[in-house]
Homo-oligomer: A and B are copies of this chain.
């Protein structure tokens, strides 16, 4: 009943090697790796040389290969591989979040056109089966929000900085040694990686294909020592939270660090663990926790996708077909705590609703509601710290042409 699958891999780094070992130990999945296409001829490989090729055609043009598993770093090259594989009638499993976030609508179209499946559970929060649950289990529920810790390396860094008093560069270096951090650490620490995952999650939660450029991402690299001191004095953690919320017919999405109180379930999510909280209208909040990075957790998610292909599974993108009249918007104000040196371009007038301000240790703090476009303007100055309040309210901002507000959402 289940098909035996023949796999062709692109890339054999951390996740590829994890997949290889997981596959060897999993009796249930009948899949074998026929060929692995890699870039560097001179790297030592832990497997027999005849398994490797440097010519992509040896994988893409081999009619015996049913499934292409794409695990390379370069997003544009990856997209090219995915496109070719679909055109040649192969299914695809990929964990490349940047490629997916930038090309999701095209990949959706290509799947329809070629009647082949692209699965990518490993791209969003590693071992947590969030896409499968959004597609299959929550398909009937009206989802109010999806939010969480989507990036393992920044969470690892923040955990080490908070719990072990490490400096930021020390913690980053350890994360990279352990294989959690991307080769370009800016993708992690500036929130791009979390944003790509959020863009993919939004497609499966709200049926919207949006460009990553439309989503604001503020990183943890602008968290100052004084922000850390403020957090410690107030028994708060700081976590990089990716979040999408639906208010009325609008979906808002953003990646911004947030002060987190001890009572939040996110406070207990440490090191490279990820967490996703899904708030349904009826099932209420559900939390999924698991390792978000590392070769085995991600390899395991990739293998689950391969396994799903053995019984012809494909994402249905049900909400994309159903939810009409829902649109993505950035017209939102958020409860934020801004810290900056005297002279930085932050003023009382920037706030929709100013709550309090004070100066300490040569730095000024202002707390209140500010719009996402104000946050984008502040973000241009890298010494302005931008961290959401623990109980941040999210309030739609009317555009001039509108009068009524659609309600609000509290974190």
Contacts and interface: CB of A to CB of B under 8 A. Distances in A.
A127 interface: yes
A26 B287 contact: no
Nearest to A2: B318
A139 B307 CA distance: 8
Given A286-B290, A296-B282, A307 B140 contact: yes
Interface stretch (A64-72, A128-136, A357-365, A386-394): A128-136
B265 A284 contact: no
Given A133-B133, A304-B137, A287 B285 contact: no
Contact of A284 (B25, B133, B281, B297): B297
B296 A284 contact: yes
A300 B141 contact: yes
A325 B29 CA distance: 19
Contacts of A28: 139-140, 318, 322
- Count class of interface residues, chain A: 35 or more
Interface string A296-313: 110111011001100000
A167 B265 CA distance: 27
A307 B319 CA distance: 14
A315 to B, nearest CB: 13
A138 B138 CA distance: 18
Report which residue of A140, A142, A297 has the largest number of chain B beta carbons within 10 angstroms of its beta carbon: A140
A280 to B, nearest CB: 7
A73 B81 CA distance: 55
Interface string A266-308: 0010000000000011111111111100001101110110011
Contact of A280 (B142, B284, B300, B322): B300
A86 to B, nearest CB: 21
Contacts of A299: 282
* Count of chain copies: 2
Contacts of A318: 28
Contact of A304 (B127, B140, B284, B287): B140
Contacts of A297: 282-284
A228 interface: no
Nearest to A301: B283
B136 A308 contact: yes
Contacts of A38: none
A208 to B, nearest CB: 16
Given A26-B142, A129-B137, A283 B288 contact: no
15 contacts: A22-B282, A25-B281, A27-B322, A127-B280, A132-B137, A133-B133, A139-B304, A140-B303, A265-B268, A265-B289, A284-B290, A284-B297, A286-B288, A286-B289, A287-B287
Given A25-B142, A280-B300, 12 more contacts: A18-B282, A28-B140, A127-B283, A129-B137, A132-B133, A136-B308, A140-B307, A265-B268, A268-B268, A282-B296, A284-B290, A287-B288
Interface of A: 18, 22, 25-29, 121, 127-129, 132-133, 136-142, 265, 268, 280-291, 296-297, 299-301, 303-304, 307-308, 318, 322
